[in-house]
């Protein structure tokens, strides 16, 4: 039960980050535009993560984690964005997305 609880909380914590990360992935239209402009498609990657934009999105969309106030939620995520684990998580997400983009480009 304890493992399920923490797994659930982790998933809830990552939902806003994943939602924002999805906005950084090149769209199919961007991929097609790069293909037609003879751009090196292997250079397609995530747009840079912007903490300010993420926190604005978090403010507008919220999170499923129960926080006593919006300021506590913001403080919690700001601390996460500054910790070394966030950098590791983001690098892993970039690696995954770039792998998927590479697979999709190879199919074009």
Evaluate if residue 107 carries a pLDDT over 70: no
Please write the tens of the pLDDT for every residue from 48-102.
Answer: 999 999 999 999 998 888 888 889 999 999 999 999 999 999 999 999 988 888 7
Look at residue 42 in the predicted model and tell me its pLDDT.
Answer: 61
Q: What are phi and psi of 78, to 5 degrees?
A: -60, -40
CB neighbour class for 21 (10 Å; exposed up to 12, middle 13-18, buried from 19) = buried
Look at residue 92 in the predicted model and tell me its pLDDT.
Answer: 95
Q: What are phi and psi of 30, to 5 degrees?
A: -65, -35
Q: Which of 17-21, 26-30, 42-46, 99-103 has the highest mean pLDDT?
A: 17-21
User: Could you tell me which residues come within 8 angstroms of residue 77 by beta carbon, excluding any fewer than 6 positions away?
Assistant: 16, 54, 55, 58
């Amino acid at each position: 039960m304890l493992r399920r609880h923490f797994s659930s909380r982790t998933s809830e914590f990552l939902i806003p980050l994943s939602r924002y990360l999805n906005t950084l992935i090149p769209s199919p239209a961007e991929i097609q535009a790069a293909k037609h402009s003879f751009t090196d498609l292997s250079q397609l990657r995530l747009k840079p993560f912007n903490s300010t934009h993420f926190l604005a999105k978090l403010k507008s969309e919220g999170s499923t984690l129960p926080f006593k106030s919006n300021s506590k939620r913001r403080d919690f995520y700001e601390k996460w964005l500054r910790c070394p684990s966030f950098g590791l998580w983001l690098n892993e997400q970039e690696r995954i997305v770039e792998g998927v983009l590479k697979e999709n480009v190879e199919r074009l």
